[in-house]
Each structure stands twice: as C-alpha cells, then as structure tokens.
C-alpha cells in the first residue's frame, strides 16, 4: 500500500480555552477537527494541515498561529477551514491579527488583508459583519455582484448574502465590545465563588 503524504503544515493549535479555563496539555476538549474527511483527535500544540476543518462548541475558544506568525482567534460555536494563507469561516466569529498577506473567506465574501486586525462574523443567514481595528481590508464578492470595497481602520460593514455591502464608522462602544471579547482569550473565566473571602 502506498504511503500517504500529508500536506505541509499551515499553522498550529496554539491555545484552547473552555469552561475549565485554558488547556495546558493533551486533548483539546470542546474542539472538533476533521482532516481528510475523518474526525481526528485535536491536541494542544498540534500542527494544522491544508484543508483541516476546526469547530468549537458553545463554551470553547481557540487561538491558531500561522507558520508566519499571524493569529486567528476563533469564538464559541464557530467553524473554519484552514488553508495556506487563508481561512474560510463557515459560521461563527473570528478575530485576526495578521502579519502576512492573508485571506478571510465566507460563502459570498473574500477579504484580502495584511498587517491588519479584523473582527469577522457570519451567521446562519449568511450575514457577514466586518470591523477593522487596525490596517486595511479589501472586500470582494465571490459572485461578482458588486465591485470591490476597501475598509480602513475604524470602519465597519455588513454584507447580507450577495447584496451590496454597507460601510460606516465603527462606534467607540462597538470597538470596546470587540476589545472586551478579545480579553476572554487571554485570561481564564472566573469560576463561581472565586475571589470570595471565607
């Protein structure tokens, strides 16, 4: 039987945080990994390969690191497919800190980014929300229904299916909300009763 050659690594599963706090070793609970059509046991620190699909349950957040140093923060109830130089967000929410030329993709939208911090979400109705905290993003229609648009730092847009995207300034309250959401990736959740003097 010929030996199967695995595709080259595109990144690693750097961090897993669930209801028990950050994982330190072993199996990544709350994470689903499908590789070459088969469910595979995900482990903290494992290499991710071209075409891997990763999903999180309702209590789990993960951080992925690309081979060139970019980071993707994937929220609860989210799913992505990883490729070299891109991720395809099927559902849920991600935040990216991109240090290389990279593409964020959804069913109807492709966003080309570099040196950028972007909050991206897609819901079950294919409504894509995009907020740029730093840098610039060029957004294109996969079906060529509208011409490409650029979003700069502090801009926000919504794209409903194949419809024309909106663009407006990101309000300071929304920016703070994104920043608070990002803090959840850096510190463990407080446990009930924690910090209470007895």
Residue 190 domain-assigned (yes or no)? no
Residue 1 domain-assigned (yes or no)? no
The pLDDT of residue 197 = 35
The pLDDT of residue 185 = 87
Q: Which residue range(s) make up the domain with 105?
A: 9-183
Residue 191 domain-assigned (yes or no)? no
The pLDDT of residue 5 = 55
Residue 131 domain-assigned (yes or no)? yes
Residue 188 domain-assigned (yes or no)? no
Mean pLDDT by 10 residues, the chain (198 residues): 66 91 85 96 94 96 90 96 93 92 92 90 92 95 94 96 95 95 73 38
**Is the CA virtual torsion 101, 88, 19, 31 positive or negative?**
negative
Within 10 angstroms of residue 40's Cβ, the number of other Cβ atoms is: 13
* Distance set, CA 26 to CA 15, 42, 43, 57, 122 (Å): 11, 9, 5, 18, 30
Where residue 34 sits, what CATH number does that domain have? 2.60.120.1440
| Number of domains within the chain | 1
Return d(Cα 186, Cα 164) in angstroms, integer.
Answer: 35
Residue 102 domain-assigned (yes or no)? yes
Residue 13 near residue 46, CB atoms below 8 Å: yes
The pLDDT of residue 196 = 35
The predicted model scores a pTM of: 0.87
**Is the CA virtual torsion 19, 23, 27, 30 positive or negative?**
positive
Residue 174 near residue 156, CB atoms below 8 Å: yes
Residue 53 domain-assigned (yes or no)? yes
Residue 141 domain-assigned (yes or no)? yes
């Amino acid at each position: 039987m010929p030996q199967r050659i695995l595709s080259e690594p595109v990144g690693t599963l750097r961090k897993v945080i669930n209801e028990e706090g950050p994982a330190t070793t072993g199996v990544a609970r709350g994470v689903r990994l499908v590789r070459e059509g088969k469910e595979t046991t995900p482990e903290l620190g494992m290499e991710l390969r071209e075409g891997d699909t990763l999903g999180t349950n309702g209590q789990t957040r993960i951080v992925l690191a690309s081979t060139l140093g970019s980071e993707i923060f994937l929220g609860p109830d989210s799913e992505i497919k990883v490729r070299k130089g891109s991720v395809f967000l099927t559902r849920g929410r991600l935040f990216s800190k991109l240090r290389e030329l990279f593409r964020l993709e959804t069913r109807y939208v492709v966003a080309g980014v570099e040196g950028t911090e972007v909050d991206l979400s897609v819901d079950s109705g294919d409504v894509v929300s995009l907020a740029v905290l730093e840098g610039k993003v060029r957004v294109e229609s996969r079906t060529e229904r509208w011409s490409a648009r650029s979003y700069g730092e502090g801009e926000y847009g919504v794209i409903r299916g194949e419809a024309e995207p909106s663009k407006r300034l990101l309000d300071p309250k929304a920016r703070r909300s994104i920043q608070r959401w990002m803090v959840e990736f850096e510190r463990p959740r407080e446990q009930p009763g924690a910090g209470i003097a007895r």
